[in-house]
Amino acid sequence: MLVIVLENAPPRLRGRLAVWLLEIRAGVYVGNYSAKVRDNIWKQVEEGIEQGNAVIAWRTNNEAGFDFMTLGANRRIPVEMDGAKLVSFLPLDDGTVL
């Protein structure tokens, strides 16, 4: 199982991902492929994301049962805590937490 979420991505990248994955909501893509195909798909995102940002999550055999990685600027950034991968939510530039 594999999920990709795009924000602010150019249409041609969104179309490209729809070649292999199902766009179940705007910018949310799901599919079920091997690691090799997943790498190939992620390469497309790396090349085409431009000013947008993206995250990919997939099922794997670790403690959490899944892993993920991100691309581009976003307030949510992955952090390592006690060997577990979590997400930190950064405050806005002006310091408000929200």
Partner 1 sequence: MAGLLPPLKPITIKERLSILFIDKGQLDVLDGAFVVVDKNGVRTHIPVGGVACLMLEPGTRVSHAAVALAARVGTLLVWVGEAGVRLYSSGQPGGARADRLLYQARLALDDDLRLKVVRKMYAMRFGEEPPSRRSVEQLRGIEGARVRQTYQLLAKKYGVEWKARNYDTSEWDKGDIPNRCLSAATACLYGVTEAAVLAAGYAPAVGFIHTGKPLSFIYDVADVFKFETVVPVAFRIAAKNPHNAEQQVRLGCRDAFRETRLLERIIPTIEEMLAAGEITPPTPPEESVAPAIPNPESLGDAGHRS
**Which residues here bind partner 1, judged by CB under 8 A?**
10-23, 31, 33-34, 36-37, 40, 43-44, 47-48, 50
CB of 10 to partner 1, least distance (A): 7
Residue with tokens 């490209």: 16
Q: What is d(CA 77, CA 31) in angstroms, rounded to the nearest whole number?
A: 23
Task: Pick between residue 57 and residue 78 the one whose CB is nearest to partner 1.
Answer: 57
Question: Can you give the length of the chain in residues?
Answer: 98
Q: What is d(CA 62, CA 67) in angstroms, rounded to the nearest whole number?
A: 8
CB of 92 to partner 1, least distance (A): 28
